[in-house]
Amino acid sequence: MVLDWIMKEKALKIKKISLVEQVLLRLREDFIHEVFPPGSALPSENELAERLGVSRLTMRSALQRLSSEGWIKVSHGKPTQVLDYRDHIRLDLFPDLLISFPGEIISLEEFSFYHRFLQWLHGAIHLAACRKAKPSDKPGLLEIVSQFSDKLTVREIWDLDFRFYRKLARISENIVLMMLQNTHRDIYRKLLDSGAIIEADYSVSFYTQTARKLTDAICANDEIALRLIHPELVIESDNSGKRLFDNIVKR
């Protein structure tokens, strides 16, 4: 069965995984290792279902997901074509590839790049919130920070972190930052649900101390103090993208 293959070959720490997800994992590996090379025709739904020991309905659901994710192209009356996933890959697949194929698809250097992007994102949220915050925002932020404790589980710590940055993003009134932060939240929740993250990458006491300083600076609209806390996390806003934006909104 597909699940036996996943647990024996990949040794994944997945708490709950549906049959469709099992099929997705198997077929993604086949695409990545070019069992079905880009440009080739995928076997029929019936053949794939029989090969993996699942129903046609399960296979159809998996193929629909693979099509929406950009792994295959389904055309009515024609064989399903295998696409080059590198031309269609999206950020929401990041945790699946990282967990299912450790070290194969996403290297340490690439993961570090994503981590640096998160630092940029949090810096952007800090700065944008600092320019919009009111003193009345401070109690709500400090209420979240006060809940951090060494007694919390890793999941509880991350959930508080998500709440803190969700509130900052809302204070910023920047819809793009809200979308990026929500995407980051969903990625890390997948990693947490899989059991891939077993500990926080910072001490709770350090986080609490830093979060209090950030809250003080942001709610005082003090950009100078903000830069002193985390100078590498703060970015300058500029007119980048202005011409493209003007072209879009003035159509």
Per-residue confidence (pLDDT) for residue 13, from 0 to 100 = 44
What average pLDDT does range 121-138 have in this prediction? Answer: 93
pTM of the model: 0.76
Give the model confidence (pLDDT) of 212-251 as tens digits: 999 999 999 998 898 888 766 545 555 656 666 566 556 5
Per-residue confidence (pLDDT) for residue 217, from 0 to 100 = 95
Residue 164: is it exposed, middle or buried by C-beta count within 10 angstroms (0-12/13-18/19+)? buried
| Fold exhibited by the domain 108-237 | Four Helix Bundle (Hemerythrin (Met), subunit A) (1.20.120)
What's the CATH code, domain 2-86?
A: 1.10.10.10
What average pLDDT does range 164-189 have in this prediction? Answer: 93
Per-residue confidence (pLDDT) for residue 8, from 0 to 100 = 40
What average pLDDT does range 128-155 have in this prediction? Answer: 92
The segment with the largest mean pLDDT, out of 86-95, 99-108, 174-183, is 174-183
Give the model confidence (pLDDT) of 67-80 as tens digits: 998 899 988 888 99
DSSP-H helix ranges across 33-174: 45-52, 56-69, 94-100, 108-130, 138-145, 154-172
Decide whether 2-86 matches 108-237 in CATH topology. Answer: no
Per-residue confidence (pLDDT) for residue 76, from 0 to 100 = 83
| Chain CA centroid to CA 117, Å | 11
Going from N- to C-terminal start, the domains of the chain cover 2-86, 108-237
* C-alpha dihedral sign at 7, 95, 39, 48: positive
Give dist(CA 56, CA 43) in Å, integer.
13
The two beta strands, 81-82 and 72-73, are: antiparallel
Residue of higher predicted confidence among 148 and 6? 148
Residue of higher predicted confidence among 111 and 35? 35
Give the model confidence (pLDDT) of 184-217 as tens digits: 888 888 888 777 766 665 678 888 898 999 999 9
Per-residue confidence (pLDDT) for residue 151, from 0 to 100 = 85
Provide, rounded to the nearest whole percent, the portion of the chain with pLDDT above 90: 43
Per-residue confidence (pLDDT) for residue 52, from 0 to 100 = 92
Cβ 193 vs Cβ 199: under 8 Å:
no
